[in-house]
Chain A
Amino acid sequence: MPLRILTVLMMFLVLACSEYKKTAIPESATTNIRLSFSIMHDQQIVKCNQSTQSLSFQAISNTNHLIDIESFAFYLHDVHLFANSTQAEIELSMQPSSWQTDDIALIAFDAACNSQASSAELNANTELHLTTQNEAFKHLVKRHAKSSDDLELRFTLGIPFESNHVNPLTQTSPLNISSMFWSWRNGYKFMRLDMKSSHEVSHQGMSLHLGSVGCQSASHVRAPKQACEQSNLVDVRIPIKLNEFASQHSKVTIPINFDLSTLLRSVPFSQQNSCMFLGLSQQEVCTQFINTLSSQPVFVSQVNDLNMQQGQP
């Protein structure tokens, strides 16, 4: 008697399992979105210089020398995507990894040219990994060739207030990377861009560092409750045309360029134009730097009709 019941039960189990198997290959509700960052200068993607092992570009100047990017990294958070026509938000989720939390991500080009970068150093991370469950977006992506819809990507450069005043040594990656510490200002560098000219005569260097300044603690055992005098968090908005990004099944790649030409047009390459918020003497350059980041199209989505190679150098 028990044996019969067992057999029947087993049959149900097998049937149920096979049913489950059949229904387990539907289309995934999740779309993976990759924001792929590149550095652009003079309408070209900046590539690696084999001899200096760094990203280099030709300076637009009389002497026409090369400028090496010794370091370029930035944090961003609060990433949002909107469909222009409907003003509807396409809700995004950030996947935690060693380069991102569920809100903050670190994009870093530092070791982009070093094929032998050890895990102990700052490796390159030029992609932001997001997902969305948005059905409408999935369909939008499929129809992109025929669609005239535009999107707007928004994010904030930097680290949110609550996370910027903790002990960086006890945070998890990517908030424990020492080259992004801003110890003397008690916080993080939101962005660092260190460049060096390869000109034989004047090996000029120029650094642009961004972070919060004028921060006071309400109490000695609390992070500042009130905002800093200059939070220097920069809101970025990037218009994106749907027919500009690649899509493949449930994965979409949106290329974003950091246009150095736009930045250096207002803050030309020169040692004197370094901004590290060291003090009052750099206020003028720093204000110019922030204004440019805030109001000029420094972050742009890839323009289709130019001769560019996609992906990392």
Chain B
Amino acid sequence: MECLTKANMKASIKANIKSSIKAMIKSIALMMTVLLLSCSKNTTPYVWNIPNDFPLPIIPKDNPMTEEKVALGEQLFFDFRLSANQVQACSSCHIPEFAFAQPTKTSVGSTGKALKRNALSLVNVAYNGTLTWAHSGLTKLEDQIRLPLFNEFPIEMGVTGNDAQILARLDSYKSDFKRVFGSEEINFDLIIKALAAYVRSLTFFDSAFDRYAYQMDDEALTEQQIQGLDLFFSERFECFHCHGGFNFSQSSKHAFQTLDLIPFHNTGLYSLDEIGSYANDDQGLGDISLRDTDRGKFRAPTLRNIALTAPYMHDGSVATLSEVVELYSQGGRGAGKTNPNKSIFVKGFDASDEEKAALVAFLEGLSDEVFVSGKFSKH
């Protein structure tokens, strides 16, 4: 043992402390780097396809948007293995080239059972006040997506009772789930979150109308379409009352406006009895609220891309846009004209054939370039 003098000892202790502090700092720094790297999910914040001055949709805090989550959701959206019998994917009834709607009156489930309603377009649904044709209680995509997956009456994707069987097929997604959600575990809560993120990403605001109205391009709409535009926004036709706003649907919400606008309207399609019952045992909002005065009330969906999503109305019972315009000019259809629950805005109007044609032409100008150009036609 060295014989240390007092001074020597002090110096040596100081030196020891210094070097051990240095070592400590080094190891802490290393630890922190490792921690930070392992905590980060290695994801990229999502970049929205929305014009600069347009508002963002409302995003739930528990399902933030990332590029990777949207990409994962896209894969799942087109994956037939998500249905129990592997015969159907989300894209079967929400077909991209038809603005994510379907050119049939009503849809059919994976086991062949018919649904009562027409598949809605998924474009810009991120802005929807409520979801589906008539449900005042469905306001969140993550809640709504459970329906086509788990529904039993009728069976749509047929997940109920087959959860484990379906999940067992999805091993190939393990690394994607690890990257997006931080764990290789795949479950339906996360599948739905990814699907919701993808559906939220389907925002399109590049139609001829947008170029005319927002980009000030006077050549974007024809004279006829401009005539139709004026009629659309007139008090005589009153289309804008239910199909107004940047999304051509009164039922919209966005980040700057969270007022609860969830109106449903009866447009006089049917009236089977004195309380205004609609056909096909489908009373719309009435079946949710269980109130007779809500019989036949449905949500006014977006008119964007409407030329691509025939046939029309909740049951696909109106085949063309011309027939739709005719219906509104008559104030309803057949007995539906006297439906006791009919909206006051559907009172009919006088219009020449030229004016009706102009309105249809304007509606055709609401189709987004991405569909018009055929970018979505193959998948």
Closest to A110 in B: B161
Taking the complex as formed, is A200 at the interface, i.e. its CB lies under 8 A from any CB of chain B?
no
B 139-181 binary contact with A (CB < 8 Å = 1; else 0)? 1101100110111110000011101110000000000000000
Closest to A170 in B: B189
Known A178-B159, A183-B146, A184-B151: A215·B137 in contact at CB below 8 Å: yes
Closest to B286 in A: A280
A216–B281 CA distance with the chains assembled, in angstroms: 23
| Residues 137-177 (chain A) with a chain B CB within 8 angstroms | 167-170
In the complex, what's the smallest C-beta–C-beta distance from B174 to chain A, in angstroms?
19
Interface residues on A, range: 20 to 34
Known A120-B165, A170-B189: A178·B150 in contact at CB below 8 Å: yes
Instruction: Please name all residues of chain A whose beta carbon is closer than 8 Å to the beta carbon of B60 when the two chains form the complex.
Output: 221
Instruction: Please name all residues of chain A whose beta carbon is closer than 8 Å to the beta carbon of B160 when the two chains form the complex.
Output: 178-179, 181
Contact B137 A278 (CB under 8 A): no
Taking the complex as formed, is A105 at the interface, i.e. its CB lies under 8 A from any CB of chain B?
no
Taking the complex as formed, is B289 at the interface, i.e. its CB lies under 8 A from any CB of chain A?
yes
Taking the complex as formed, is A276 at the interface, i.e. its CB lies under 8 A from any CB of chain B?
yes
A221–B139 CA distance with the chains assembled, in angstroms: 10
A 179-205 binary contact with B (CB < 8 Å = 1; else 0)? 101011110000000000000000000
Contact B281 A279 (CB under 8 A): yes
Indicate the member of A120, A168, A179, A279 with the most B CB atoms within 10 Å.
A279
A276–B295 CA distance with the chains assembled, in angstroms: 18
Contact A178 B189 (CB under 8 A): no
A89–B93 CA distance with the chains assembled, in angstroms: 56
Instruction: Please name all residues of chain A whose beta carbon is closer than 8 Å to the beta carbon of B161 when the two chains form the complex.
Output: 121-122, 178-179
Contact A186 B138 (CB under 8 A): yes
Taking the complex as formed, is A285 at the interface, i.e. its CB lies under 8 A from any CB of chain B?
no
Contact B290 A217 (CB under 8 A): no
Closest to B165 in A: A120
Taking the complex as formed, is A214 at the interface, i.e. its CB lies under 8 A from any CB of chain B?
yes
B 183-207 binary contact with A (CB < 8 Å = 1; else 0)? 0000111001000000000000000
Partner of A183, one of B136, B150, B290: B150
Instruction: Please name all residues of chain B whose beta carbon is closer than 8 Å to the beta carbon of A280 when the two chains form the complex.
Output: 277, 283, 286-287, 290, 292, 295
Instruction: Please name all residues of chain B whose beta carbon is closer than 8 Å to the beta carbon of A278 when the two chains form the complex.
Output: 153, 281, 287
Known A169-B189, A178-B150, A181-B146: A214·B290 in contact at CB below 8 Å: yes
Contact A230 B290 (CB under 8 A): yes
Taking the complex as formed, is A283 at the interface, i.e. its CB lies under 8 A from any CB of chain B?
yes
Instruction: Please name all residues of chain A whose beta carbon is closer than 8 Å to the beta carbon of B147 when the two chains form the complex.
Output: 183-184
B 284-304 binary contact with A (CB < 8 Å = 1; else 0)? 001111101001000000000
Interface residues of A, Cβ cutoff 8 Å to B:
120-122, 167-170, 178-179, 181, 183-186, 207, 213-217, 220-221, 229-230, 276, 278-281, 283
What are 5 A-to-B residue pairs whose CB atoms are below 8 Å?
A: A178-B163, A181-B146, A213-B290, A221-B61, A281-B281
Interface residues of B, Cβ cutoff 8 Å to A:
60-61, 135-140, 142-143, 146-147, 149-153, 159-161, 163-165, 187-189, 192, 277, 281-283, 286-290, 292, 295
